[in-house]
Structure 1
Amino acid sequence: MGTIKRGVSLYSYQNETFQGKMSLEDCIRTSAEFGAYGIEVIGEQTFWGWPEVGVEDAKIDEWHQLIAKYDCVPVSHDFMLDYKRYKGREMPFDEQVASVRNDIDFGARLGAKYIRALVSIAPEVLVAAAPYAEEKGIKILIEVHAPLHFDHPWIVRHAEAFEKSGSDALGFLPDMGMFLHAYPPVMVEKFKRLGVPANIADYIVKAYADRVLSEYVILNVQEMGGTGPSIAMAEVLRHNAAYEPKRMLDYMPRIHNIHGKFYQMTADYVEPSIPYDKIVAVLNQGGYDGYICSEYEGNRWIEDAEEPDSVEQVRRQQVMLAKLIGEPTPTALAA
């Protein structure tokens, strides 16, 4: 059995960060108060101007001072190599590798052990960057994110390339959103506000629970008279599925960080759509000893109706995680 640790992706606080309600110190302090000492960042969100312009040493110094002040650990820098939309052209292979090397350097400046690669990046690019990552003491982790999963040919291709390379600087970062075992209630309510009739919404929720093929669900919704938002609600099934957490076991030696995706935490500390009890059991079985970093994405489904309270949502998930991994509940989580 591993010793799972708790962390937070500062992406969780994106609403408050964008609105100027939370500073970098607020984000780190709040996470630490919850006993979530692992801090994950997206460079573009946390450090203004990255990667188009460099980040001043003073900003990096501030980062390290705050990490030390709150006794935290830099876990990962999540980088965004969108090579398909680079200056109106596809970025050539050598430039992609150079871009990854740039993010390796940035991750090293932050003191992170890992950098997250978007799932769209070809394995050949990561393999080419691996020797440089080894020099810098960094591991590059490809994010396994819905609609992809560990049996998807693209992920299998990465796994094969990683093994063939012989480099231990290449690995995986599973996003728990691929284990969506129920249609998230916050999504249901949003689609209803957009005009989806109750009978159609109820059908889609049940069809998801019954694992009905997405194309049949979309066709049935059309035949029920559904248009616009109703079709959009059904099409969510194309992106999400209830994959099995146990599939992580075969990949565990290369899994080094985890995105604790969640859309909603209820007042009694339950994520109604993602089976975290089963997930943590699988991670323990596999001896996982890295971080689960909270990644709140329910904000975008409620902000049309209410002000998101990302801090409270993260607090609730951290209560759940602390219980599941057998930690005593920190005082700040007992609110």
Structure 2
Amino acid sequence: MTSDIKRGVSLYSFQHETFQGKMTLEDCFRTCADMGALGIEVIGEQTFWGWPEATVDEAKIEEWHALIGKYGATPVCHDFMLDYKRYKGRMMSLEEQVASVRKDLDFASRLGVKYVRALVSIAPEVLVAAAPYAEEKGLKILIEVHAPLHFDHPWIIRHAEAFEKSGSDALGFLPDMGMFLFKFPPVWKERFIRNGVPRNIADYIEKAYEDRVLSEYVILNVREMGGEGPALGMAETLRHNAAFEPKRMLDYMHRIHNIHGKFYQMDENLVEPSIPYDEIVRVLKQGGYKGYICSEYEGNRWIEDAQEVDSVEQVRRQQAMLKGLIGEPTPTALAA
């Protein structure tokens, strides 16, 4: 069954290769185009050096648009940060926060995207105050619903209520699929073992996560098993991750316009072993979602101590998986 869901890539997926100078911006575009993933999501700080402290040179913006045209891509989303708690050693005022958001909206407009991603820590009153400016720019501000938060969390409910009360359609949500972590990622487990966690403790934590044991009990039990340091760090991950229900997106689908296809590992069989993408895509189809799922690979940091990172291959595998789940038709070869 086909759907209107589209495939894209967050260039954050290639952060390892970008930082090491192994991939240029054009390499990223070419790679995505080769996969048929034509939606491009970008983090300004990663792709445009100096942002947001410095104004990005117009030549860099022109390069961006030239690559969009060359590869037939679509600029989807600009992810901005607003680290308001570390502004000159004090909290930013509401007015300063709104001004910062407006600056990112201006930048997003230069990039030609439709959406901007707001961090989940940003208060709803900031986004509501920035909404009229977003409307003027033809943009939507999407707060990222990211683990350990979820659609039933009071903070997200507070945003949803504020968005509805504002009456603005420029406010919405960007769900990160990492909140649907149904199993403890194998790459996490093996990294913790390499860091010194005894395998029996690692096995216990993995099983406890699958059994949905309360994280405080797991941490206590790990202490009683003699675990310390890395073992407690592994147990602590249970505080920040959980297997929330994909179906909870349905009540908010009218405000969901982009999705982070978070993943930590794609195996040779095109399966993400910890996140149920088959169920996720089924729910998105049920809700009539028509936006992009942008691959967001974050397994690099869990393997870089032991093996060469190949973000391109990992993203390629996820894109192949998504293509099948979405039901994207395969082009028919022209008859000779």
TM-score, normalization: structure 1?
A: 0.97
Structure 2 partner of 1:135? 136
d(CA) in 1 for partners of 2:306, 2:110 = 40
Deviations 1:20-52 (A, max 9, x none): 000000001100110000000000000011000
SS at match of 1:91: coil
Deviations 1:274-319 (A, max 9, x none): 0000000000000000000000000000001112100000000001
Deviation at residue 2 of structure 1 after TM alignment: 4.9
Question: Superposed, which structure 2 residues align to 1:187-206 within 5 Å?
Answer: 187-206=188-207
Deviation at residue 17 of structure 1 after TM alignment: 0.3
Deviation at residue 10 of structure 1 after TM alignment: 0.1
Structure 2 partner of 1:177? 178
Structure 2 partner of 1:61? 62
Deviations 1:52-85 (A, max 9, x none): 0101111101100000100000000000100001
Checking the alignment, whether the CA contact within 8 Å between 1:40 and 1:78 is kept in structure 2 is: yes
Structure 2 partner of 1:216? 217
Structure 2 partner of 1:314? 315
5+ long unaligned stretches in structure 1:
none
Query: Aligned pair 1:239/2:240, yes or no?
Result: yes
Deviations 1:129-155 (A, max 9, x none): 000000000000000000000000000
Structure 1 partner of 2:146? 145
Task: Kindly report the root-mean-square deviation, in angstroms, between the aligned alpha carbons of the 2 structures.
Answer: 1.1
Checking the alignment, whether the CA contact within 8 Å between 1:115 and 1:138 is kept in structure 2 is: yes
SS at match of 1:60: helix
SS at match of 2:89: coil
Structure 1 partner of 2:48? 47
Deviation at residue 89 of structure 1 after TM alignment: 1.2
Checking the alignment, whether the CA contact within 8 Å between 1:34 and 1:330 is kept in structure 2 is: no
What letter corresponds to residue 67 of structure 1 in structure 2?
I
Structure 1 partner of 2:81? 80
Question: Superposed, which structure 2 residues align to 1:258-277 within 5 Å?
Answer: 258-277=259-278
Deviation at residue 88 of structure 1 after TM alignment: 1.3
What letter corresponds to residue 312 of structure 1 in structure 2?
E
Question: Superposed, which structure 2 residues align to 1:25-36 within 5 Å?
Answer: 25-36=26-37
d(CA) in 2 for partners of 1:26, 1:87 = 37
Checking the alignment, whether the CA contact within 8 Å between 1:319 and 1:329 is kept in structure 2 is: no
Deviation at residue 329 of structure 1 after TM alignment: 5.7
Checking the alignment, whether the CA contact within 8 Å between 2:3 and 2:328 is kept in structure 1 is: no
d(CA) in 1 for partners of 2:4, 2:87 = 41
d(CA) in 2 for partners of 1:110, 1:7 = 16
Structure 1 partner of 2:250? 249
Distance 1:74 1:10, change over 3 A: same
5+ long unaligned stretches in structure 2:
none
SS at match of 2:90: coil
Structure 2 partner of 1:297? 298
Checking the alignment, whether the CA contact within 8 Å between 1:43 and 1:51 is kept in structure 2 is: yes
Distance 1:183 1:329, change over 3 A: farther
Deviations 1:83-115 (A, max 9, x none): 001121111110100000000011011000000
TM-score, normalization: structure 2?
A: 0.97
What letter corresponds to residue 149 of structure 2 in structure 1?
L
d(CA) in 2 for partners of 1:18, 1:242 = 32
d(CA) in 2 for partners of 1:152, 1:73 = 32
What letter corresponds to residue 216 of structure 2 in structure 1?
E
SS at match of 1:142: strand
d(CA) in 2 for partners of 1:329, 1:61 = 33
d(CA) in 2 for partners of 1:231, 1:330 = 50
What letter corresponds to residue 182 of structure 1 in structure 2?
K
d(CA) in 2 for partners of 1:222, 1:330 = 56
SS at match of 1:59: helix
What letter corresponds to residue 20 of structure 1 in structure 2?
G
d(CA) in 2 for partners of 1:330, 1:300 = 36
Checking the alignment, whether the CA contact within 8 Å between 1:323 and 1:329 is kept in structure 2 is: no
What letter corresponds to residue 284 of structure 2 in structure 1?
L
Give the count of matched residue pairs: 331
Deviation at residue 328 of structure 1 after TM alignment: 4.0
